[in-house]
C-alpha cells in the first residue's frame, strides 16, 4: 500500500538493523485518517471472507483494530496482556513473547467474546517473528472460531513470521513489507 510505504519512508526511523520506530503515526502518536485508509484496503482484501469479528492484542494494535471494526461494521476484541481485578475467570489463554519488549506474556480473551460463530480477522501493527500472531491464532483455535486471515500494517519480511504463517496456509495481508532496512541505507519495500 503506497500510502503507508510513503508514510514509513517519511516518518519512520530505523535504529540499528532491527528496530523500526513508527511512533510518529502508528504506535504512540496515531494517525486515525491513515488507519481508515488502511482499514479500507483490508476491507477490499477480505471482501469475500464474511469477517464478523476483529481480534487484536493490546496495546498498540487496538487503535488500528478499532477503526478496522468501524469499516467492517463489526465488534473488536483485544487480547489482554495481564489480569486486572475484574478479568473474567472464563477466558482463553496463550503465551506470547514480545519482540520489542523481550518478555513473555500470557494473553487472554474472555470466552464470552470469541466463539464458534465468529469469523475472525486478526489485526496487528507489526509482524516480525510471528509469535504474537501465533498466540492470537491459538486463541481463535481454542474458541472454535474461523480464522479468515491476518491483516498486518508493517511486515518485517526479512524475519521469518510472514513466511511461516503463509506456509501454514494462513492468508496474511501486510500493507507494507520491509525487505531491507538499516540506519544508514534506509528502507526498501517488497511487494
Residues 82-101 that bind a copy of itself (CB under 8 A): 84-86, 88, 100-101
Phi, psi of 12 (to 5 degrees): -80, 155
161 close to 170: Cβ distance less than 8 angstroms: no
Residue 160 per-residue DSSP state: S
Cβ proximity to a copy of itself, 4 vs 170, nearer residue: 4
What the block records as the C-alpha cell of 86 is: 475484574
d(CA 57, CA 100): 14
Write each residue from 144 to 173 as x if it is in contact with a copy of itself (CB under 8 A), else as -, in one continuous string. ------------------------------
Asked if 10 is part of the footprint of a copy of itself (rule: CB under 8 A), the reply reads no
Cβ proximity to a copy of itself, 31 vs 106, nearer residue: 31
Asked if 182 is part of the footprint of a copy of itself (rule: CB under 8 A), the reply reads no
d(CA 64, CA 78): 11
| Peptide bond connecting 59 to the previous residue in cis, omega within 30 degrees of 0 | yes
Cα angle for residues 68, 72, 73 (degrees, 5° grid): 110
Asked if 135 is part of the footprint of a copy of itself (rule: CB under 8 A), the reply reads no
Shortest distance (Å) from residue 19 CB to a copy of itself:
5
Binding segment for a copy of itself (CB under 8 A), chosen from 80-88, 123-131, 164-172, 182-190, is: 80-88
Binding segment for a copy of itself (CB under 8 A), chosen from 106-114, 123-131, 166-174, 179-187, is: 106-114
110 close to 138: Cβ distance less than 8 angstroms: no
137 close to 57: Cβ distance less than 8 angstroms: no
The site for a copy of itself (CB under 8 A) is made up of 15, 19, 21, 23-25, 28-33, 35-36, 58-59, 62-67, 69-70, 73, 75-78, 80-81, 84-86, 88, 100-102, 109-110, 112-113
Amino acid at each position: 500500500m503506497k500510502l503507508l510505504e510513503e508514510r514509513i519512508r517519511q516518518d519512520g526511523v530505523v535504529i540499528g538493523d532491527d528496530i523500526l520506530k513508527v511512533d510518529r503515526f502508528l504506535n504512540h502518536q496515531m494517525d486515525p485518517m491513515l488507519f481508515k485508509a488502511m482499514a479500507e484496503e483490508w476491507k477490499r482484501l477480505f471482501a469475500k471472507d464474511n469477517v464478523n469479528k476483529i481480534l487484536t492484542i493490546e496495546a498498540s494494535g487496538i487503535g488500528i483494530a478499532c477503526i478496522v471494526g468501524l469499516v467492517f461494521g463489526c465488534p473488536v476484541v483485544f487480547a489482554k496482556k495481564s489480569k486486572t481485578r475484574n478479568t473474567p475467570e472464563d477466558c482463553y489463554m496463550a503465551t506470547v513473547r514480545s519482540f520489542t519488549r523481550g518478555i513473555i506474556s500470557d494473553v487472554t480473551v474472555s470466552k464470552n467474546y470469541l466463539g464458534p460463530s465468529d469469523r475472525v480477522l486478526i489485526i496487528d501493527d507489526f509482524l516480525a517473528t510471528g509469535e504474537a500472531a501465533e498466540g492470537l491464532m491459538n486463541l481463535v483455535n481454542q474458541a472454535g472460531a474461523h480464522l479468515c486471515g491476518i491483516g498486518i500494517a508493517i511486515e518485517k519480511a526479512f524475519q521469518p513470521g510472514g513466511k511461516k504463517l503463509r506456509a501454514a496456509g494462513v492468508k496474511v495481508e501486510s500493507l507494507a513489507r520491509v525487505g531491507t532496512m538499516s540506519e544508514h541505507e534506509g528502507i526498501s519495500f517488497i511487494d
